[in-house]
Structure 1
Amino acid sequence: MANQVETTLTEELLPLLREERYVTIATVDHETGGPNVNAISWVYASDETHVRFSVDNRSRIVENLKKQPLVTLTVVGAGSTYSITGEAKVLSEKMEDVPLKLALIEISVAEVRDVMFYGARITTEPKYEKTYDKEAAEKLDNQVMSAMKK
């Protein structure tokens, strides 16, 4: 996908965004007007043109999106780095069947770019581990991912 601009998620990206993974989201800060970048992991591509994610409903991300809905997700995978831009909308301030107060947000994909610098390929994707109770983390992850798929 190098040097190409797509208007939908590619066949390569779709499966990457159908599992919990490390991505970053850039929003416009509602107070300063400057960039605001956060790492998130609960993401789910419902189809080629929509990506859902979930964050604490008190997150600065939610406030930022209410004022300025344009966002960029950065995804590292499939040997490259991808920038996915679009407009986000808060679908729910409190997701059902999830014990935490999480907002459900959906991005309408406008543009997908391969932003990896020339002559390089990602050989190892970012990995992380949960630092709290593993069973509780797995249960919560399953609840959140199930709720995002509805």
Structure 2
Amino acid sequence: MANQVEQQLTEELMPFLQKERYATIATVDFETNGPNVNAISWVYAPDHNTLYFAVDNRSRIVQNIKHNPNVVLTTIANGTTYSISGKAHIKAEKLEDTPLKLGLIAIDVEAVRDVMFYGSKISADISYEKTYDQNAAEKLDRQVMDAMKKA
């Protein structure tokens, strides 16, 4: 996909966006109008034109989106780095069936770009560990992902 701009999520990218994964979300800070970047993991693509993610509904991310809907979600998959830009909106102030106060954000995908620098590829997938109770983390991850799939 190098040097191409797609208007929707591609077939090769969709499987990676059907489960929890490391991504970053860039928003426009509502106070400074500068960039604001956060790491997130609860990401789900219900179709080729939409991305969901869940975050604490008191998060600065939510405030930023309410003031300016322009966002970029960046993730690594297929040995490359994807930049997915679009307009975001609050789909739900409180994601049902989860124990935390999570907001559900929807991104209307406008552009998908392969932004990996020339002549290179990612040779190992990013991995991370939850640093709290493993059973509680797995249960929470299931609850959040299931709730996003039902939304």
Shared fold, TM over 0.5: yes
SS of the residue corresponding to residue 37 of structure 2 reads strand
Q: What TM-score do the two structures reach when normalised by structure 1?
A: 0.99
Distance between the aligned counterparts of 2:144 and 2:118, measured in 1?
A: 37
Shift of 1:84: 0.1
Tell me the percent identity: 66
Shift of 1:140: 0.5
Shift of 1:126: 1.1
What's the counterpart of residue 48 of structure 2?
Answer: 48
Distance between the aligned counterparts of 1:12 and 1:124, measured in 2?
A: 17
SS of the residue corresponding to residue 66 of structure 1 reads helix
What's the counterpart of residue 106 of structure 1?
Answer: 106
Let me know the Cα RMSD of the aligned residues.
0.5
Distance between the aligned counterparts of 2:123 and 2:26, measured in 1?
A: 24
- What amino acid is the match of 2:14? L
**Deviating 4+ runs (over 4 angstroms):** none
SS of the residue corresponding to residue 87 of structure 2 reads strand
Distance between the aligned counterparts of 1:98 and 1:52, measured in 2?
A: 15
Alignment coverage as a number of residue pairs: 150
Alignment of 1:67-146 (within 5 A): 67-146=67-146
Could you tell me which runs of 5 or more consecutive residues in structure 1 were left unpaired when the two chains were aligned: none
SS of the residue corresponding to residue 2 of structure 2 reads coil
- What amino acid is the match of 1:55? V
SS of the residue corresponding to residue 103 of structure 2 reads strand
Distance between the aligned counterparts of 1:129 and 1:21, measured in 2?
A: 11
Distance between the aligned counterparts of 1:139 and 1:125, measured in 2?
A: 23
Shift of 1:77: 1.2
